[in-house]
C-alpha cells in the first residue's frame, strides 16, 4: 500500500442497487462535540478521557462504556447522554463538505438509501435537526444491532431495510472509520472511504475500494430501474 499519489482519478460512473452511509465523520463532523462529551463522561467515571477517545470513534458508546463502567452500559443511559450532545454542543458540529447536496440529491432521486450508524437514534436525529439536513427514511442506529462495527450485521440489516434483495452485493457503503470500512467489506459490499477523520494508510489497510477527501467527490447522476448511478471524482490514485 502506498500513500504516494493524489486525489486526481478521473470521473467514473458506477451503478448500485442501494447506498448506505455512516453518519458521524461521513455526513456530520461532530469531532469537537464528541471530545467535549467524552471529557465530561470521563470526569464522571474517573477515567482519562484521552484513553476513551483513543478507541471510541466508530464504536457504539455502549461498547465503549462496557470497558469502564458496566452499570452505564445500558440503552437508557446511552440514549440519554447521546441525546444531550446536540443540545449542549450543537455549535460544535458542521456538515461534512458536500453532505447537504448529496443527501438532498439522494432523496430527490428516489433511490434506495439509508444511514447505518454507531450512534443512537436521539443523537442522529438531534444532529440532523440542529444542522437542518435531510432525514433518511431508513436509519439503522446503535440500538438496532447486537454487535457494533466492524461486525457486518448492521450493514446487512441496512440492505434489508432499504428494500434491496438479500442476495445482492450491489451496495455502496460510505465510511470514514476503519471499523466501518471493515464492516462494509465483511458484508460483501463496495466501500468508499472519506479522509475526514483517519489517515489515508488506515483507510487503505481497512480495504476501502475508493478513497476521497469528502462528499464533494460523489454525486447522484440518476436512478434507472431502481438502481442509483453515482459519479465518483478525484479518488486517490
> Annotated catalytic sites, by residue?
22, 24
Q: Is there a contact between 183 and 48 (Cβ–Cβ < 8 Å)?
A: no
Cell of 35: 471530545
Tell me the chain's radius of gyration from C-alpha atoms.
17
Distance (Å, rounded) from C-alpha 116 to C-alpha 84?
A: 20
Helix (H) or strand (E) holding 124: helix 121-131
Q: What angle do CA 62, 30, 199 make, to 5 degrees?
A: 90
Residue 235 dihedral angles phi and psi, to the nearest 5°: -75, 160
Q: What angle do CA 102, 115, 152 make, to 5 degrees?
A: 130
Amino acid at each position: 500500500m502506498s500513500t504516494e499519489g493524489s486525489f486526481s482519478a478521473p470521473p467514473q460512473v458506477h451503478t448500485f442497487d442501494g447506498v448506505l452511509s455512516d453518519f458521524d465523520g461521513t455526513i456530520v463532523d461532530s469531532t469537537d462535540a464528541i471530545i467535549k462529551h467524552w471529557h465530561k463522561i470521563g470526569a464522571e467515571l474517573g477515567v482519562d478521557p484521552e484513553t476513551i477517545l483513543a478507541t471510541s470513534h466508530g464504536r457504539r458508546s455502549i461498547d465503549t462504556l462496557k470497558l469502564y463502567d458496566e452499570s452505564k452500559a445500558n440503552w437508557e443511559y446511552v440514549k440519554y447522554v447521546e441525546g444531550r450532545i446536540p443540545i449542549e454542543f450543537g455549535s460544535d458540529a458542521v456538515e461534512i463538505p458536500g453532505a447537504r447536496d448529496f443527501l438532498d440529491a439522494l432523496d430527490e432521486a428516489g433511490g434506495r438509501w439509508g444511514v447505518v450508524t454507531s450512534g443512537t437514534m436521539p443523537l442522529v436525529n438531534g444532529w440532523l435537526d440542529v444542522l437542518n439536513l435531510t432525514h433518511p427514511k431508513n436509519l439503522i442506529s446503535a440500538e438496532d444491532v447486537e454487535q457494533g462495527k466492524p461486525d457486518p450485521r448492521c450493514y446487512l440489516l441496512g440492505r434489508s431495510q432499504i428494500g434491496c434483495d438479500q442476495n445482492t452485493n450491489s451496495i455502496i457503503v460510505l465510511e470514514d472509520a476503519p471499523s466501518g470500512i471493515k464492516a462494509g467489506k465483511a458484508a460483501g459490499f463496495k466501500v468508499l472511504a472519506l479522509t475526514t477523520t483517519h489517515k489515508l494508510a488506515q483507510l487503505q489497510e481497512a480495504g476501502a475500494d475508493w478513497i476521497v477527501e469528502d462528499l464533494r467527490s460523489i454525486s447522484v447522476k440518476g436512478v434507472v430501474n431502481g438502481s442509483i448511478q453515482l459519479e465518483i471524482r478525484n479518488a486517490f490514485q
